[in-house]
């Protein structure tokens, strides 16, 4: 199934809610001492997410992963076809630099059962982004933020212009992608670990995960994400593959 990605000539719009089965690789991660995060399923036992989801905890304990639905707001949302799995391991790419390498592998048990509602996403094979990398990309997650209120834990998807590490002004590193294209929409804190798919491939491939949220500048509301004032960041998964 193909994620819908806008082209340059199309009118841009804020994030929209996903239809059931539209993004079957997205998972809800409930981690102790963390509100929750998004994860991207890449194998029967592996989920990719942001290291920030651990909230600095070295021994976060076992959490829970859910997949198979597009919202998790009522008890019935956690019933089949939703699948529940135990998180058994967290592997950070660099435990000493989780803010720089904001990327982790989450292991679950038992394995996911593949269905129309739960499917893995393939990972981009290239290890480096082209020098002139400026596609539109589909950015999706289970956003949480004070600006969303009761609309949290709902899968939303939007399209953003993306640039490679050269446009990340504060940190020019090859494992990062950035966007300043967020005048109408932006990732929220609960979107961390969500998927980034770009229109440069004939089929869906995972280019990145959401790793940094451009806050609105409201220090008293660091989870406010309606219209942020700076760039949002993403980890390029090809670098880690």
What are the structural domain ranges in the chain? 16-20+122-240, 26-109
Q: Do domains 16-20+122-240 and 26-109 have the same CATH topology?
A: yes
* Residue 182, pLDDT score: 64
Q: How many residues does the chain have?
A: 241
Full pLDDT tens readout for the chain, 241 residues: 445 444 433 345 566 788 888 999 999 999 887 768 999 999 999 999 999 888 766 666 779 999 999 999 899 999 999 999 999 999 999 988 888 899 999 999 999 999 999 999 999 988 888 777 777 888 999 976 544 455 578 898 888 888 776 667 655 578 888 887 766 667 787 899 999 998 766 678 899 999 987 654 444 444 445 555 566 889 999 999 8
Which class for 53: exposed (0-12), middle (13-18), buried (19 or more C-beta within 10 A)? Answer: buried
The pair phi, psi for residue 237, each rounded to 5°, is -75, -25
What's the CATH architecture for 26-109? Beta Barrel (2.40)
Asked, as a colleague might, if the bond just before 110 is cis with ω within 30 of 0, I would say: yes
Structure confidence at residue 2 (pLDDT): 47
Do 203 and 90 meet the contact criterion of CB atoms below 8 Å apart?
no
CB-based contacts of 51: which residues, under 8 Å, 6+ apart? 92, 93, 98, 99, 101, 102, 103, 104
| Predicted pLDDT at 71 | 92
**How many whole angstroms from its chain centre is CA 204?**
15
Tell me, what's the pLDDT at 123? 94
Task: Give me the pLDDT at residue 215, please.
Answer: 54
Please answer whether residues 133 and 164 qualify as being in contact, where contact means their C-beta atoms are separated by less than 8 angstroms: yes
Q: Helices (H), strands (E): how many in the chain?
A: 1, 13
DSSP 238: H
User: 51: helix, coil or strand?
Assistant: helix
CATH code: domain 16-20+122-240 is 2.40.10.10
- Assign 151 to helix, strand or coil: helix
* pTM reported for the whole predicted model: 0.86
From 179, 100, 176, 104, select the one nearest 136 (Cα to Cα): 179
What confidence score (pLDDT) does residue 5 get?
Answer: 44
Contact 175, 94 (CB under 8 A): no
Q: Which of 164, 134, 186 is nearest to 235 (CA)?
A: 164
Which residues lie below 8 Å from residue 158, measured CB to CB, with a gap of 6+?
13, 14, 15, 16, 138, 139, 140, 185
Q: Supply the pLDDT for residue 4.
A: 45
Cα(164)–Cα(130) distance, rounded to whole angstroms? 8
């Amino acid at each position: 199934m193909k994620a819908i990605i806008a082209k340059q000539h199309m009118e841009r719009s804020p994030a929209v809610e996903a239809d059931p089965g539209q993004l079957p690789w997205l998972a809800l991660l409930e981690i102790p001492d963390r509100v929750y995060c998004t994860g991207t399923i890449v194998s029967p036992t592996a989920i990719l997410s942001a290291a920030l989801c651990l909230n600095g905890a070295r021994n976060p304990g076992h959490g829970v992963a859910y997949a198979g639905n597009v919202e998790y707001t009522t008890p019935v949302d956690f019933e089949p076809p939703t699948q529940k799995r135990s998180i058994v391991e967290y592997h950070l790419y660099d435990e000493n630099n989780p803010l720089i390498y904001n990327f982790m592998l989450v292991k679950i048990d038992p394995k996911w059962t593949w269905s129309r509602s739960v499917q893995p996403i393939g990972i981009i094979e290239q290890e480096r982004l082209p020098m002139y990398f400026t596609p539109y990309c589909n950015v999706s997650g289970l956003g949480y933020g004070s600006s969303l209120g009761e609309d949290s834990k709902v899968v939303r998807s939007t399209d953003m212009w993306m640039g490679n590490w050269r446009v990340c002004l504060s940190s020019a590193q090859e494992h990062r992608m950035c966007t300043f294209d967020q005048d109408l929409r932006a990732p929220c804190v609960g979107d961390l670990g969500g998927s980034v798919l770009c229109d440069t491939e004939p089929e869906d491939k995972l280019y990145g995960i959401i790793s940094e949220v451009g806050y609105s500048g409201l220090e008293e509301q660091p989870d406010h994400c309606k219209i942020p004032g700076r760039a949002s960041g993403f980890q390029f998964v090809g670098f880690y593959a």
